[in-house]
A = this chain, B = another copy of it.
Amino acid sequence: MAHSSYRQFCPVAMAAEILCRRWMMLVIRELVAGTTRFNDLRRGVPKMSRSLLATRLRELEDFGVIERHLLSHQSGVHEYRLTEAGRDLVPVVEAVGNWGQTWVESRLSLRNLDASLLMWDMHRNLDPAPLPNRRCLIQFCFPELPPRQQNYWLVVEPSGDVELCRDDPGFELDLLVTTDLRSMTMIWMGLATVQELRERLDLSGDREIAARMQTWLGLSPFAPTERRVS
Q: Does A73 contact B (CB under 8 A)?
A: no
A96 & B10 in contact (Cβ 8 Å cutoff):
no
Report chain B residues within 8 Å CB of A160.
none
Partner of A11, one of B5, B20, B222: B222
Report chain B residues within 8 Å CB of A147.
none
User: Roughly how many angstroms separate A229 CA and B84 CA in the complex, as a whole number?
Assistant: 11
User: Roughly how many angstroms separate A25 CA and B99 CA in the complex, as a whole number?
Assistant: 14
B114 & A7 in contact (Cβ 8 Å cutoff):
yes
Q: Report whether over half of chain A's contact residues are helix, strand or loop; otherwise say mixed.
A: helix
Q: How many residues of A contact B (CB 8 A)?
A: 60
Q: Does A22 contact B (CB under 8 A)?
A: yes
Q: Using a CB-CB cutoff of 8 Å, which residues 163-213 of chain A contact chain B?
A: 185, 189
Q: Does A93 contact B (CB under 8 A)?
A: yes
User: Roughly how many angstroms separate A210 CA and B228 CA in the complex, as a whole number?
Assistant: 49
A91 & B95 in contact (Cβ 8 Å cutoff):
yes
Minimum C-beta distance from A176 to chain B (A): 24
Chain A residues with a Cβ under 8 A of chain B: 2, 5-16, 18-26, 29, 45, 47, 64, 84-85, 88-89, 91-104, 108-110, 112-114, 117-118, 121, 185, 189, 220, 222, 225, 228-229
Between A and B, 24 residue pairs with Cβ closer than 8 Å are A2-B2, A2-B22, A6-B23, A6-B45, A8-B112, A10-B26, A10-B117, A11-B99, A11-B222, A12-B26, A12-B97, A14-B100, A15-B96, A16-B96, A18-B104, A20-B25, A85-B102, A85-B103, A85-B228, A89-B99, A92-B92, A92-B95, A92-B99, A94-B95
